[in-house]
Amino acid sequence: MTTEPLSRARIVAAAIDLIEREGADAVSMRRIAAELGVGVMSLYNHVPNKDALLSGVAEAVMSGIEFTDDPDAHWSDRVRMQARAFRQIAHHYPRSTMLVVSRTLHSSAGLLPVERALATLRSAGFDGVDAVRMLRMFIAFIVGSLLREVGVTPSFAPPQPRSVDAEQVDETLFPHVSELAPLLGRCDHEAEFEFGVEMLISAIAAHPAREEGAR
């Protein structure tokens, strides 16, 4: 049995694995150590504390995003691609995604996406100030979307009785809600995401501060 030496990377990988299999609540230093077949305190030779470990998890997930940016494509297509790249991590690591978005990322792992996004927005004809604004708006939308997607689907598992269960909402107090209950109950996350992205793109395209002549 070749016991590969312990390392920060192996610990982080084990943590991600555990989170995806049993949820974030199952993560404990003891559990991770057991998973790796080592003593608990051995972990602390590679990771200062649990919080730093979770930061490592967030960083690893973030840097797993696969960007395929084509600088020659139309800026709107580049935006579409980048938005989808973000959403893909919610599929690869659904339960870790909650960690990523709810934790303030201090490292520079998230810098490459930002660079790509800014380049795209500049190529769409925005100056620096507006590019940053647009980026922030986009990030807010994406983070909010992913949060709903992974929050509403704790595992993917039990067909939970949707939060708004028709019949049981008072239709005189909440007429619209009760009328649209079937629609509110179901949610095609992919379609909703794409819809939002298209709305934002058309809003961006129509913004007056943009200089025409997009490449």
Partner DNA sequence: TTGACGCACGTACACCGTACGTGCCAGCCT
Partner DNA sequence: AGGCTGGCACGTACGGTGTACGTGCGTCAA
Cα–Cα distance for residue pair 143/104, rounded to 1 Å: 12
Give the three-class secondary structure for 39. coil
First to last CA, the chain: 56
- Under the binding rule (CB under 8 A), the answer on residue 172 touching its own copies is no
- Under the binding rule (CB under 7 A), the answer on residue 8 touching DNA is no
Cα–Cα distance for residue pair 83/46, rounded to 1 Å: 34
**In this structure, what DSSP letter does residue 38 have?**
S
Partner from its own copies, DNA, none contacting 41, C-beta within 5 to 8 A by type: DNA
How many Å separate Cα 125 from the centre of its chain? 27
Of 22, 42, 128, 174, which one interacts with DNA (CB under 7 A)?
42
Cα–Cα distance for residue pair 206/63, rounded to 1 Å: 32
Of 42, 45, 88, 108, which one interacts with its own copies (CB under 8 A)?
108
Residue (64 or 196) nearer to its own copies, CB: 196
Residues that bind its own copies (CB under 8 A): 98, 101-106, 108, 111-112, 114-115, 118-119, 122, 128-129, 131-133, 136-137, 139-145, 147-148, 151-152, 154, 163-164, 169, 173-177, 179-180, 183-184, 187, 192, 195-196, 199-200, 202-204, 206-207
